[in-house]
Structure 1
Amino acid sequence: MYWYLYVLKNYAVFRGRARRQEYWYFFLFNLLISLTLTGVDKLIGSPPSGEGAGMLASVYSLAVLIPSIAVGVRRLHDIGRKGWWMLLALIPLIGTLVLVYFFIQDSQPGANEYGLNPKEIDTDSVGHFKV
C-alpha cells in the first residue's frame, strides 16, 4: 500500500526514476481497486459510462490517469528510456506488450540522465526511503 500512496502523492512528477517495485505495486493496487469498483457498480446498478464500465470505476480510472502515466514515465527513465515511449500504449496489443517488456526490466545500474538509481539510494529494511 505504501507504493500506491507514494505514486498518488507524486501524481504529476514526470522526472526522476521509479523502480520496478514502485510501478508494479501501484499497478496491483490500481487493478484491485478497479475490479472492486466495477463489482460495486454492478451491485448498485450504476449506469454504464462506457463499454461495461460503471460510473464509480470510470471516475476512479480518470482520477488515476495522470499518476499512472507519471509512474510509467519514471519507470521508463529507470531503464534509461525517454518517457515518450509511453505513447506505445496507443498501439493496440503490440505497444502494450513492448511496454510490459520494458517495465519488467531491471533498473539501469548507477546514475543515468534521469537521476540516481533508486535501488542504490539509502532505504530502510522494508524499502522506504530514509530522509
Structure 2
Amino acid sequence: MTAHPIDSLRNTLSFSFQPRGRADRGEAWTYLLAATLCATLLSGMVSALTTGALADCLSLGIVVTCAIPAPALAARRFHDFNRSGWWSLALAPGALRLLLLEILQRGFGWSAREVAEDVLRWIDWAIFPTFGLAYLALLAWPGSSGANRFVASSAGRGHDRPAPR
C-alpha cells in the first residue's frame, strides 16, 4: 500500500539524517518532486527580490538545503531492494560534480563553470552512466516485498523496527 504523498514527504524529512529502514518508490518520487518544486520556487523568489552575490548565495543555499535528505533517502531506498545502503555512494560522484559546478557558477560566473565543464567532460563518461543508472533504479524499480534484512516489520515498510544486527 502506497502512503499519501504528504505522509511520504513527512517521512522523508523526519528521517533526513537516518539511513536505517526502508523507503518505497512513492517516497522517493514525492521527495524528488517536492524538492525540485521548492528549490525552483524559492530560488525564483530570491532572484526576483535580490540581485548579485546575495541572490547567488541564497539560491545555492536553498538548493543545498533541499538536497539534505537525499543521501539518507537513497540508502533507505537501496534497503528497500534488500541491498546495502552503501550502494548509494554510486550517486556521490555525480551529485558532487553538480554541486561543485553550481558553486563555481555562483561564485565565479559562467566562464569558470565552462572551463570546469570542459575539463570534466572527459571523465563524465565514467561518472554519469553509474549515476544515471543508480538514480533510475531508485525511482523505477519496486522494492522487495515483505520483511528483509534491513526492516523486520511484518509489513516490510517503515522505520519502526530496523532488523537486528
TM-score by length of 2: 0.61
Q: Which residue of 2 aligns with 1:17?
A: 22
Residue 2 (structure 1) aligned with residue 37 (structure 2):
no
Q: Which residue of 1 aligns with 2:143?
A: 107
Q: Shift in Å at residue 60 of structure 1?
A: 2.4
Q: Shift in Å at residue 7 of structure 1?
A: 1.1
Q: 1:61 aligns with which of 40, 60, 63?
A: 63
Counterpart-to-counterpart distance in 1, 2:45 and 2:133:
32
Superposition CA RMSD, Å: 2.6
110 and 39 in structure 1: CA distance in 2 versus 1, 3 angstrom threshold: same
Segments of structure 2 that go 5 or more residues without pairing to the other structure are 1-5, 95-126, 158-165
Q: Shift in Å at residue 96 of structure 1?
A: 2.3
Segments of structure 1 that go 5 or more residues without pairing to the other structure are 123-131
Counterpart-to-counterpart distance in 2, 1:4 and 1:66:
13
Q: Partner letter of residue 75 of structure 1?
A: R
Counterpart-to-counterpart distance in 1, 2:88 and 2:147:
22
Q: Which residue of 1 aligns with 2:50?
A: 45
| Structure (1 or 2) with the larger CA radius of gyration | 2
107 and 79 in structure 1: CA distance in 2 versus 1, 3 angstrom threshold: same
Aligned length: 119
Q: Shift in Å at residue 116 of structure 1?
A: 4.3
Counterpart-to-counterpart distance in 2, 1:54 and 1:99:
30
Q: Partner letter of residue 69 of structure 1?
A: P
Q: Shift in Å at residue 30 of structure 1?
A: 0.3
Q: Shift in Å at residue 59 of structure 1?
A: 1.8
Q: 1:84 aligns with which of 69, 82, 86?
A: 86
Counterpart-to-counterpart distance in 2, 1:48 and 1:85:
36
